[in-house]
Amino acid sequence: MKRALFVVGPAGSGKTTLCEAIQDYLLGKNCGILPHYVNLDPASNIPQSKSNNAWDIREKWNLEDVMRLYQLGPNGALMYILESFGKDAEHLAEKLQPWQEDFLIVDCPGQIEAYIHQEGGMNSVISTFKDHGYDIIILFTLDSTFINNHRKMLLGVLISLVSMLHLGEALLIVVTKMDVVGGVEEWDSLQDSLQDFLNTQEQNSFLGKLGNIFDKFGISEIIPVDVTEPESIAFLHGRLCNILGQDEDQVNFNDNDADHDEE
Ligand SMILES: Nc1nc2c(ncn2[C@@H]2O[C@H](COP(=O)(O)OP(=O)(O)OP(=O)(O)O)[C@@H](O)[C@H]2O)c(=O)[nH]1
Ligand SMILES: [Mg+2]
């Protein structure tokens, strides 16, 4: 069974840290098949040689070279690389070939343009994965420090909804860095406070109408995560398993043969 977890979200929202935490958690479970890390961020500063890396966009594109060659700034060069990569479905298919049985954890860039309007970039990459039979889950990360600033949090949730529209795939919002705001135990009160804020807005005001949208989309579906707490990663993992419609043991890859049977 082919599965890929895409971790997307604004710059600095904790995507790479979350990818590493999920990978470490699964590796710690000593499963039969390893969860593999895929780096799609050309500007990443993590070592390319990191163990359990499946592949890295920097193998083919160097950000500085693209900047120099096309006289682009770092953001323009990054968008150029993503677009080239997304459109090169054949290259991507070749990259996916060795990982037919594996769980890929895909760390994505922090340029929000890639998720809200760029055509032929992330949306093409995700389509190619789906064309190759992958079950996809997208996590959209929002920094916990947004929560205390209600307007910022609402903006973050709105961007996540626009990303969902653009990427053509449902996504799960994960609030990262919960350790900074006192741990996941604080989530209920932070969420109540956000809801109180929305409830006190005039129904016909912009924020009042936004509140109705959030009611429809169910802000209770947002998952708070504290990477410093293994139970928190275990909880997130459980949710991913539910979404994939599998019990945790299957997604833990303990039953290698079962996966082969299903292929
Ligand atoms: N306290 C705390 N800091 C975190 C956590 N996750 C990330 N950080 C810090 O936040 C900063 C950004 O984290 P990254 O994981 O690199 O975020 P990112 O979304 O991958 O960033 P870009 O790839 O640049 O978009 C780093 O300084 C991390 O150490 C967390 O769960 N708790
Ligand atoms: Mg990163």
d(CA 91, CA 80) in angstroms, rounded, equals 16
Q: What integer pLDDT is reported at residue 214 of this predicted model?
A: 74
- List the residue whose alpha carbon is closest to atom 8 of ligand 1: 14
CA 230 / ligand 1 centre spacing (Å): 17
Asked if residue 176 has its Cβ within 6 Å of ligand 1, the reply is: yes
pLDDT digits (tens, 9 = 90+) for 160-204: 988 988 998 888 999 999 999 999 999 999 888 888 888 898 888
Q: What integer pLDDT is reported at residue 260 of this predicted model?
A: 34
- List the residue whose alpha carbon is closest to atom 4 of ligand 1: 177
Structurally, the chain folds into a number of domains equal to 1
Q: Is 49 helix (H, G, I), strand (E, B) or coil?
A: coil
Asked if residue 42 has its Cβ within 6 Å of ligand 1, the reply is: no
The stretch 207-235 carries a mean pLDDT of 83
The answer on pLDDT for 254 being more than 90 is: no
Q: Residue 13 CA: which ligand 1 atom is closest?
A: 19
State both tokens at 158.
């709105």
CB 112 within 8 A of CB 148: no
The stretch 212-224 carries a mean pLDDT of 73
- Selection from 136, 118, 45, 56 nearest residue 82 by Cα: 118
Asked if residue 69 has its Cβ within 6 Å of ligand 1, the reply is: no
What pLDDT band is residue 231 in, cutting at 50, 70 and 90? Answer: very high
Q: In the block, which residue shows the tokens 């809200």?
A: 116
Q: What integer pLDDT is reported at residue 263 of this predicted model?
A: 34
pLDDT digits (tens, 9 = 90+) for 54-71: 889 999 999 999 999 999
Q: What integer pLDDT is reported at residue 247 of this predicted model?
A: 54
Amino acid at 172: L
CA 14 / ligand 2 centre spacing (Å): 7
| 140 against 31, higher pLDDT | 140
CA 42 / ligand 2 centre spacing (Å): 10
What pLDDT band is residue 219 in, cutting at 50, 70 and 90? Answer: low
Q: Residue 20 CA: which ligand 1 atom is closest?
A: 15
CA 17 / ligand 1 centre spacing (Å): 6
Domain that holds residue 199: 3-262
User: Ligand 1: which of 17, 178, 228 to mutate, most ligand atoms within 8 Å of CB?
Assistant: 17
Give the CATH number, domain containing residue 94. Answer: 3.40.50.300
Average pLDDT, the chain: 85
Torsion region of 182: left, alpha or beta (phi above 0 gives left; psi -120 to 50 gives alpha): left
